[in-house]
Structure 1
Amino acid sequence: MQKAYAEGLRAVYLYTAAHQNPDVAQLVSGADKDLAARVNDLLLPIVKGVGSERAYQYLTESLQTLGGSGFLQDYPIEQYIRDAKIDSLYEGTTAIQAQDFFFRKIARDRGVALAHVAGQVQKFIDSEAGNGRLKGERKLLATALEDVQAMAASLTGHLMGAQQDPKELYKVGLGSVRFLLAVGDLLIGWQLLRGAEVAIQALDNGATEAFYHGKVAVAQFFARNVLPELTATRTVLANLDNDIMELDEAAF
């Protein structure tokens, strides 16, 4: 899982950075100057919010592999964990990043940038990427894309409902971090599969390096073990309520 998130997030960062240069953005996704800026803005909360959360999460799990010794200064993991934690706090906590992602980068943008990125994902799904060896994984990616689009629709419904009942905004707050992480997983899965496509081409052309086999394996692993979780997140976001917000403080 560490390999998947490390390599997948790195690819998402590079995809985001590509949209900071209009000429490169045009080459990478067909975005013009204005759209490239919008896509860059959309993805920055993913880079910061998802990147910092996943780094801390999987550094913590890596410490577990060392048992009690991992908590000691004999190994560098405990220092890495402390160093990584601050990333989810500085420049806006993850919840702030998630709300910025939905309210400003999606709702205020009227979903233009999100639709463009989703179109790029769909284009990959519809392709013959992987020469027949990624068919099942592309299907899993397609389901994940549908799940994310449904999540966006659910949160947008709550936002619109706030015009009649302001408390509907609470539901957006309750679901925004889940949504941010879900979109991150979708993009990571997509980028890993793009890498796997390139690796398969290299292997078909006679490459034998374990590096290429690793690229294919990690993409398949992520698609099969992480992307299906987005369906559960979709269900959660479709059934948000304000019960916890209305609970008397004394109940805590």
Structure 2
Amino acid sequence: MAERFIHMQHLRFLLREVFAEESKNLFSEKDMKSWDLVLNAAYDFAKTALHPLFSEMDRETPHLENGTVRVHPAIGPLLRQMGKDGWISAGLPQKQGGEGLPSMLLHACTAIFASANYSASVYSALSMGAARLIATYGCEALKDFYLPPLLAGRWQGTMALTEAEAGSSLGDLSCEAIPAGEGVYRIRGRKVFISAADHDGVENVVHLMLARIDGAPPGVKGISLFVVPKFRPELGGLRDNDITVTQIFHKMGYRGAPIAELSMGEKNDCLGYLIGMENRGLSAMFQMMNGARLEVGMGAAAIATAAYQAALEYTKSRKQGRRMGASSISEPVAIIEHADVKRMLLDQRAIAEGAMALVLQCGLYEDALHTLTGEAARERHLLLDLLTPVAKSYAAEQGIFSVSQSIQCFGGYGYCEDFPVEQHFRDMRIHAIHEGTTGIQAMDLLGRKVMMEKGLPLRLLAKEIRTTLQKAEQDEALAPMAKNLEQALHTLEKTTGILGLWALEAGAEAFLADATLYLEAFGLVTVGWQWLKQAIFARKNSGTARGAAASFYEGKTNVCRYYFAYHLPKHAALCHRLMTKEALTLSIQTEHFS
């Protein structure tokens, strides 16, 4: 039997049941009926084209050869097929050559592709993000020249932000852009950790690059955004654009896609083309960055899902030990029958499926921005901003724990290359670093997002959660969990208020010292909300379902019960620590470490 990397019934349950009512306000019934066709096509492609290369791409890693990065030979054909089938253009409007698919459905497809082969899925995702950014902010000449080959999968798109000395502190980047006339600039500098920064699977690589125009203000206010291709247009053709790959990084996981260091302008002949307004590059880049953060969150949830599916299959087939009290001569049982193994499997489902639902919730808010207007659209924008760092970080951090539990289910075999969870664990670890570390996301959430407009985003989220609580309270089986989530939400609101006052008393450094704990507490509440939403629909439909469908719904309800019994209680301890108002990490001096 072929290994199952994702449970499609779970995705359909979320899209067609849990989020159906909210979706009806945004999409026509005709559109929603076509979603199954898209999901089926995504699954078929993932199963036949991506998943067979899962282990092979991990072992046949990219390498630098005569200045060119060589990748697995399947990458080029895969990208061109994804271009031909419309996956790279799927999120663009039809007038720009796309399919106009909703964000929520695109995130579901991301889950399918990433669970099948995370490394392979990243190439097309980067090109999609670059194309959407050019489509939004580029002039007509840039759109006409760059969009067709990007969308066809012939050219690769990238995000080129990070520099060795600046890291996540983008205000300190030093890459230079010297005006050369008519929106053209000479680019000089270095970039590091650029995914898919160069490879022989495509004809050209198009970097969306942040740089500072000569004479621009210091800090983030002086950053501009440029299209910087590996080969630039000239005299009706393409010529080398003075970009050198100085090294590729040899990684713990996510090995199928190269991450490189780039040097631009060593011959003073690297040209970049301004996109958007001068000194407003970071705000434009945030479109691609925020999209990438949700993709990282869904990628983490997808890897955790694939690892869970592997662990589930193994624990059902592996026989070892006997039930407590059984005769020593009785037949061994499948290890899934042991309570502690069930606990580990429940941990994995609680995290993976809860995180996946939260990213889809963010996708629904993205879609609302294109459909709603006025105050309704503004509220959805605030909710999306608020939840993006939470969705990214919960999936990434808790996903590490989830895949670790998958390995534990396999015992010693899980630590070996013979089974896929060893690779899943290595592939997972980058997600807490990609697109802003967990600490960066935490400071963004507490220092900016919850404090915007006098706390309006958190009030809007609390209203959304309490709408779900009111529905859950009508079900006798769910009412106790609704009460627990209401208490956790109240505690989060109280903690936020106390921290806000402390910011005035003790300053920003003390206020943000434990921001990562706040982010974790926030994630527990929001994923609890997603599980309660799932349980409401599972309970509603379980009474009329039969056979496997009934087991599916009962399973959903039981995972929700597990989440509220084993995961949500951690929230109280985190908030207690936060409300203590003691910046212990600030009082410990550097010299105290030895």
Taking structure 2 as the reference length, the TM-score comes to 0.39
Equivalent position of 1:155 in the other structure? 499
Equivalent position of 1:138 in the other structure? 482
Which residues in structure 2 correspond to 1:45-64 (within 5 Å)?
45-64=389-408
**Deviation at 1:234?**
1.2
Equivalent position of 2:351 in the other structure? 5
Equivalent position of 1:218 in the other structure? 559
Unaligned runs of 5+ in 1: none
2:450 to 96, 106, 119: 106
Q: 1:108 to 1:83 in 2, by over 3 A?
A: same
- Say yes or no: does 1:233 pair with 2:574: yes
SS of 2:510 mapped into structure 1: helix
**Deviation at 1:23?**
6.6
> Relative to total residues, which structure has the larger helix share, 1 or 2?
1
2:470 to 113, 126, 142: 126
Which one scores higher on RCO, CA 8 angstroms, separation ≥ 6? 1
Equivalent position of 1:247 in the other structure? 588
**Deviation at 1:110?**
2.4
Q: 1:128 to 1:66 in 2, by over 3 A?
A: closer
1:188 to 527, 530, 542: 527
8 Å CA contact 1:20, 1:40 repeated in 2: yes
Q: Distance in 2 between matches of 1:101 and 1:156?
A: 13
8 Å CA contact 1:200, 1:212 repeated in 2: yes
- Say yes or no: does 1:174 pair with 2:520: no
Q: Distance in 1 between matches of 2:358 and 2:474?
A: 20
**Deviation at 1:142?**
1.0
**Deviation at 1:128?**
4.8
Equivalent position of 1:197 in the other structure? 536
Question: Matched residues, percent identical?
Answer: 26
**Deviation at 1:44?**
0.7
**Deviation at 1:66?**
2.5
For residue 521 of structure 2, what is the amino acid of its counterpart? A
SS of 1:131 mapped into structure 2: coil
SS of 1:55 mapped into structure 2: helix
Task: After superposition, give the CA deviation of every residue in 1:68-123 in whole Å (9 maximum; x if it has no partner).
Answer: 33222112112111111111112110000010111121113422121111111112
Equivalent position of 1:83 in the other structure? 427
For residue 513 of structure 2, what is the amino acid of its counterpart? L
Stretch moving more, 86-95 or 149-158: 149-158
8 Å CA contact 1:185, 1:227 repeated in 2: yes
Task: After superposition, give the CA deviation of every residue in 1:131-162 in whole Å (9 maximum; x if it has no partner).
Answer: 22111111111111112112212221222224
8 Å CA contact 2:348, 2:405 repeated in 1: no
> Relative to total residues, which structure has the larger strand share, 1 or 2?
2
Q: Distance in 1 between matches of 2:584 and 2:532?
A: 40
Taking structure 1 as the reference length, the TM-score comes to 0.89
Q: Distance in 1 between matches of 2:371 and 2:536?
A: 21
Q: Distance in 1 between matches of 2:522 and 2:348?
A: 18
Q: 1:160 to 1:132 in 2, by over 3 A?
A: same
- Say yes or no: does 1:19 pair with 2:365: yes
Q: Distance in 1 between matches of 2:448 and 2:484?
A: 29
Q: 1:50 to 1:128 in 2, by over 3 A?
A: closer
Q: Distance in 2 between matches of 1:171 and 1:221?
A: 35
1:94 to 438, 449, 463: 438
Q: 1:123 to 1:172 in 2, by over 3 A?
A: same
Q: Distance in 2 between matches of 1:18 and 1:220?
A: 25
Equivalent position of 2:154 in the other structure? none
Q: 1:135 to 1:77 in 2, by over 3 A?
A: same
Superposition RMSD on alpha carbons, in Å?
Answer: 2.1
**Deviation at 1:129?**
4.6
**Deviation at 1:223?**
1.2
8 Å CA contact 1:199, 1:212 repeated in 2: yes
Q: Distance in 2 between matches of 1:206 and 1:46?
A: 34
Q: Distance in 1 between matches of 2:371 and 2:364?
A: 5
Q: Distance in 2 between matches of 1:64 and 1:119?
A: 39
Q: Distance in 1 between matches of 2:394 and 2:545?
A: 36
**Deviation at 1:251?**
2.2
8 Å CA contact 1:175, 1:240 repeated in 2: no
8 Å CA contact 1:63, 1:71 repeated in 2: yes
